[in-house]
């Protein structure tokens, strides 16, 4: 019996307890055996498969149904039991790209399981599909005791990550999924720590580098001339011109990249003349852009400001249109104070292209320093792409100096006021109970405080309170296009 029938076997009839127990045991065995036949779970121990089956729900999708959206990653691990689905995403130029077709035995949701929430794909049912759905919370709870499951899923994650990264690069997105898979086999994963020099000016190029995650700055003779992030590539100029690198490339955050060795790139361009032409066009565009910024003092200052204040670390920034805002107005800050006890945003006159940028949390997508510094893992992402501080915060304050943008502060916790009757009861209990000198549990007296885009509310207090519409949450590309 297949997994589809095993999970939905009719048990509505009244049966004796012993028979029901036998049927439940048989059903669980059938589920476990069905999971074992899926390629994505090959080699996973039977007891782990049984635990997965206990959390599983079978879902059916008709052709054309959108199972997951690129901007809203899956919250479940989904195993394909029957049918096929397509994976698509948009490259950096905004064009939709087919990443591949997945069929029986493959799975979805591994990117959400191991990666960040900003990297996803649109999943569409191409045929009638039956998918086993297991909440990621349950899967994560199993991983520490099921290393073979983690290995199997992480291998799929790495493969999916490379394929989606290539798909996001306009240079490669026009290739077929099969051609991108061929390129992926030649790629070497490499990681850089924050501040590391990834390419050095004057050195001879040996590879093309594609950014999987993280943000980098390109500096020529110490002057920032470009900013690159996920889906961008670099190192091509030296390979095509056969000249040393004309700039340093430095990691602004921890960076994961893919390196395509020079010989593999040369072979690829020889077999793909159109790709070679596009790459040469990119080289000429970048040369022109570099010359333009070197001759544009204002643009240089703007880029330096963007890097210094982390304006591209997140996806959006709070800005206000000075032409719509009355001088000295603090309505937005007052609204923030009213909702949260103290203002999480301030304005210090930082302006860019006619917009004043709020001093607030940048909601850093990659390598958030506050997250790295927190010993309690109390700073996490919510579904609105905001970093929130949970009740696990002990008020240790490690996150405050870690933030390079002075966006995190410590806020005293208000004392809990008890009723007189409850206080009397506590005093009586202390009187009648022998005193045992034990170290009391630490009760935090303060807590980290920062903008979390009004987590738990349906609006932003500051934006809703603005009477002229001057304040808004703007995409970073609008504030400083690259």
Nearest to 213 by CA among 192, 199, 183: 192
Cβ neighbours of residue 374 closer than 8 Å, sequence gap 6 or more: 393, 398, 399
Q: Report how far residue 290's alpha carbon sits from residue 218's, in angstroms, rounded to the nearest whole number.
A: 10
Buried b (16+ CB within 10 A) or exposed e, 152-169: bbeebbeebbbbbbbbbb
Quick: pLDDT tens for 101-115: 999 999 999 988 887
Nearest to 162 by CA among 109, 103, 230, 67: 230
Pick the CATH number of 3-169 from 3.40.630.30, 3.60.21.10, 3.90.180.10, 2.60.120.10: 2.60.120.10
Nearest to 106 by CA among 72, 78, 136: 78
Domain limits of the chain?
Answer: 3-169, 186-294, 316-479
pLDDT reading at 415 higher than 90: no
Pick the CATH number of 186-294 from 3.40.1080.10, 3.40.50.2000, 2.60.120.10, 3.90.79.10: 2.60.120.10
pLDDT reading at 309 higher than 60: yes
pLDDT reading at 13 higher than 50: no
Residue whose structure tokens are 């409850």: 422
User: What average pLDDT does range 284-306 have in this prediction?
Assistant: 87
* Three-class SS state of 179: helix
pLDDT reported for residue 416: 52
Alpha carbon distances (Å) from 290 to 234, 281, 297: 14, 14, 12
Q: Report how far residue 482's alpha carbon sits from residue 474's, in angstroms, rounded to the nearest whole number.
A: 15
Q: Report how far residue 86's alpha carbon sits from residue 100's, in angstroms, rounded to the nearest whole number.
A: 6
Number of CB atoms found within 10 A of residue 319's CB:
24
Fold identical between 3-169 and 186-294?
A: yes
Quick: pLDDT tens for 430-457: 565 555 444 444 567 899 999 999 999 9
pLDDT reading at 32 higher than 70: yes
pLDDT reported for residue 10: 42
pLDDT reported for residue 73: 76
- Is the torsion defined by CA of 153, 133, 145, 389 positive or negative? positive
pTM of the model: 0.80
Quick: pLDDT tens for 53-87: 999 999 999 999 999 988 777 889 999 999 999 99
User: What average pLDDT does range 266-278 have in this prediction?
Assistant: 91
pLDDT reported for residue 439: 44
pLDDT reported for residue 481: 79
Cβ neighbours of residue 349 closer than 8 Å, sequence gap 6 or more: 356
Are the CB atoms for 165 and 258 separated by under 8 Å?
yes
Average pLDDT over the chain reads 87
């Amino acid at each position: 019996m297949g997994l589809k029938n095993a999970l939905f076997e009719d048990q509505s009839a009244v049966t004796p307890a012993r028979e029901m127990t036998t049927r439940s045991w048989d059903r669980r065995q059938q589920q476990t055996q069905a999971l074992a036949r899926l390629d994505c779970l090959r080699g996973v121990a039977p007891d782990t498969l049984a635990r997965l089956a206990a959390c599983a729900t079978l879902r059916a999708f008709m052709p054309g149904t959108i199972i997951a959206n690129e901007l809203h990653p899956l919250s479940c691990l989904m195993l394909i039991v029957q049918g096929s689905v397509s994976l698509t995403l948009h490259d950096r130029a905004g064009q939709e790209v087919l990443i591949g077709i997945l069929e029986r035995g493959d799975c979805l949701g591994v990117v959400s399981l191991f990666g960040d929430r900003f990297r996803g794909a649109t999943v569409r049912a191409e045929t009638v599909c039956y998918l086993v759905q297991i909440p990621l919370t349950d899967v994560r709870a199993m991983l520490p005791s099921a290393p073979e499951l983690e290995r199997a899923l992480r291998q799929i994650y790495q493969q999916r990550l490379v394929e989606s990264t290539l798909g996001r690069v306009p240079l490669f997105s026009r290739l077929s999924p099969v051609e991108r898979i061929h390129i992926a086999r030649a790629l070497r994963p490499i990681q850089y720590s924050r501040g590391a020099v990834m390419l050095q000016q004057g050195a001879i190029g040996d590879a093309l580098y594609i950014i999987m995650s993280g943000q980098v700055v390109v500096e020529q003779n110490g002057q920032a001339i470009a900013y690159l992030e996920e889906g961008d590539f670099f190192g091509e100029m030296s390979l095509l011109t056969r000249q040393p690198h004309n700039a340093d490339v430095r990691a602004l955050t921890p960076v994961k990249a893919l390196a395509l060795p020079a010989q593999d790139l040369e072979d690829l361009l020889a077999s793909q003349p159109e790709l070679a032409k596009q790459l040469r066009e990119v080289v000429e565009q970048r040369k022109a852009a570099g010359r333009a910024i070197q001759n544009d003092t204002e643009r240089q200052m703007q880029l330096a400001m963007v890097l210094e204040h982390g304006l591209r670390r997140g996806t959006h920034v709070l800005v206000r249109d000075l032409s719509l805002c009355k001088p000295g107005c603090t309505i937005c800050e007052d609204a923030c104070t009213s909702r949260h006890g103290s203002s999480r945003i301030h304005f210090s006159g930082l302006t860019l292209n006619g917009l004043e940028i709020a001093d607030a949390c940048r909601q850093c997508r990659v390598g958030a320093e506050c997250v790295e510094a927190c010993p309690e893992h109390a700073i996490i992402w919510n579904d609105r792409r905001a970093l929130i501080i949970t009740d696990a915060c002990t008020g240790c304050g490690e996150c405050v100096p870690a933030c390079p943008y002075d966006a995190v502060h410590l806020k005293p916790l208000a004392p809990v006021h008890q009723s007189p009757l409850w206080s009397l009861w506590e005093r009586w209990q202390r009187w009648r109970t022998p005193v045992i000198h034990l170290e009391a549990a630490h009760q935090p007296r303060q807590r980290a405080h920062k903008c979390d885009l009004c987590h738990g509310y349906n609006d932003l207090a500051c934006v809703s309170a603005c009477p002229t519409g001057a304040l808004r949450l703007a995409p970073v590309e609008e504030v400083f296009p690259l």
